[in-house]
Structure 1
């Protein structure tokens, strides 16, 4: 379709939508938004800064090259739009374990909830320490899911409550390990089961942790308002129980605050972002200096890491990079979180137009957590940008990075 260069992004979206005979409510709904939001985008009243939403619009319009919407001159190089989700060989077995839950009476074999919780805790540790965390954790999840379901249905009393807490942890981990590779229906099923198990157990910390997980799903599927509501309700639920509670209860409360901070920052709400971050900072100060929450890795280091994320999402690249310079990434025990910090730093360098620095940092991120980088959309966006737009002298290195991350480099 002929789309003149002088058109704005919003005007291009309107022309493309109308050429396909799509109504504004239909296209907005495919992106998880309302028609008023799309009307403001098309009219230029609201700037579309989210790369994720740009990709969603392009996919909904069945545009395979993002530059058709943005009008960006990429030197004739296509800006490919992923029209499907990423794939991972471990997904079929996980899908089977989640979606073929039997309705028959449980078989007569015992599952000790204490042992089950220990296995869940060990698998969470593997998630945070392995360079190939999706593959290694994914191999363990099917049996964990089945054993957790069996325990929750075959036990009663306090043992059943303990099994439900373990099952909630298992489903939360399933959500983490299958993020961006699971079909949408599985992502929602997993998040809902984690929350339902925690609510059945009537354990505030488990409910709060499951809400943190649900908030991740909501935020990544472009429901930021709902994500904030869920984590705020969870924080309100657990707050009255914090006096004299175990450290991990305060840890999940702090993690909820950091989640809200990033969600607000992505929406451009700077004041709210720093208000939530400040609450998380206060929680970290109340905990032992070396404390780290076992699944969310909330603690002093993660609060500091989130300051970089908030600044990056607020497009304050210079300050984000300065803040990152003052951090010691090695104090963070999570390989996954360290790799994502370096991705945030790379995004900051890219915002400033320093592709040499962005490439160096992305190579470091990939070295630390190869699968974290390969299966994180923001990291893939950086890798694709470097490959498309870096000078010829960097093309060999950016091509190697793009191939390692799994970004197409044809053409």
Structure 2
């Protein structure tokens, strides 16, 4: 290898020398080809040590320096290990999803009672600091009862049951995000969309598309994520006049989803254009309105303004916007915790580790499982553990342990 080659150029040379296509190597790393293209062209830095290890394994390279050369990315090898995320509720959820019976099996249920249980579980997801554990305990029975309902009910009851089943699979996607094997994540997203389409209900299809967009974005299929949410927005848009508030709420959530996706791709103009569309939707709804699953509403639109600026590396502007927010107006514990994680990221971008540690401790007190099972939060905690001021290292180490990051 030429010593002057960048990490991306080295990866491309190794890939091509092995006769591998970009999609194949990306798939072996659990990412999309667009992600790998940006790494190879230098448009995106490779800062994740676990991804570096996946690339090395896929390329059959035993010495990481063959990939990193003298690039600063080699320093990632000294990072605190973030570990593989697991949750004790996964085996039961896996069984309910992946061993679906071909014959009706489950408790007798009406569409209305099923939807009531789903709505209650969504409220639990947003209200509990231990939402993954509590919701995961309820999901296996919900999944089985939902599958049973769509097989034994008829007519309008069956369509309503399909809407409820779609909601169940969307909630399953939320509760297992970052801990589910890739195959389960895709199955859950596909079933949520299929159930919504079987119900032939635009709002349910839009909500399932929002969920699918999350999966696509988190696996680096940004273009596909945008396409899905834009198509869903176009599908529901003609039905918004006179529609229930929740239909407009999911339409607004699609705009915010697109805004975040664009921001993470560095498309600042598009990001704020989508955000402004979401802002207009929020203004058309009652001031106290909150969508039951996506928590779209006035507060969430304002929270997203902070997230966009952090993703766009406009830390000063993000922190200024955060100063003007009242987090308590957001009824979702999960979303409040995520806001403080974004604020901590902003402080880290400015080099203020003391403030970042303080804010991350707040985030953990508000939503312990949100912090423990969100990769961006874990990365902040790991960074603080590595580089906190000497006087704060014991606190940073305690946070790392609480979040589940090995510090030994």
Answer whether TM exceeds 0.5 for this pair. yes
Q: Report the Cα offset of residue 60 of structure 1.
A: 2.9
Distance in 1 of aligned mates of 2:104 and 2:113 = 22
- Aligned partner of 1:60 in structure 2 is 55
Distance in 2 of aligned mates of 1:366 and 1:209 = 28
- Aligned partner of 1:274 in structure 2 is 272
Contact 2:203 2:250 in 1 (8 A): yes
1:299 maps onto 2:297 in alignment: yes
- Aligned partner of 2:20 in structure 1 is 23
Q: How does 1:27-38 map to 2 (within 5 A)?
A: 27-31=25-29, 32-34=31-33, 38=36
Distance in 1 of aligned mates of 2:352 and 2:145 = 50
- Aligned partner of 2:72 in structure 1 is 71
Contact 1:121 1:294 in 2 (8 A): yes
Of 294, 317, 335 in structure 2, the residue corresponding to residue 319 of structure 1 is 317
Q: How does 1:150-161 map to 2 (within 5 A)?
A: 150-161=148-159
| TM-aligned CA distance change 1:66 to 1:119, over 3 Å | farther
Q: Report the Cα offset of residue 252 of structure 1.
A: 0.2
Deviating 4+ runs (over 6 angstroms) = 63-68
| TM-aligned CA distance change 1:315 to 1:58, over 3 Å | farther
| TM-aligned CA distance change 1:290 to 1:382, over 3 Å | same
Contact 2:262 2:271 in 1 (8 A): yes
- Aligned partner of 2:145 in structure 1 is 147
Distance in 2 of aligned mates of 1:362 and 1:97 = 35
Distance in 2 of aligned mates of 1:393 and 1:65 = 36
- How many residues are matched? 400
Q: How does 1:161-310 map to 2 (within 5 A)?
A: 161-310=159-308
RMSD: 2.5
- Aligned partner of 1:96 in structure 2 is 95
Task: Name structure 2 gaps, 5 residues minimum.
Answer: none
Q: Report the Cα offset of residue 61 of structure 1.
A: 1.9
- Aligned partner of 2:85 in structure 1 is 86
Distance in 2 of aligned mates of 1:384 and 1:139 = 29
| TM-aligned CA distance change 1:315 to 1:101, over 3 Å | same
Distance in 2 of aligned mates of 1:232 and 1:9 = 34
Of 21, 42, 46 in structure 2, the residue corresponding to residue 46 of structure 1 is 42
SS in 1 for 2:78: coil
Task: Name structure 1 gaps, 5 residues minimum.
Answer: none
Query: TM-score of the superposition, structure 1-length normalised?
Result: 0.91
SS in 1 for 2:118: helix
Query: TM-score of the superposition, structure 2-length normalised?
Result: 0.91
SS in 1 for 2:341: helix
Q: Report the Cα offset of residue 13 of structure 1.
A: 3.7
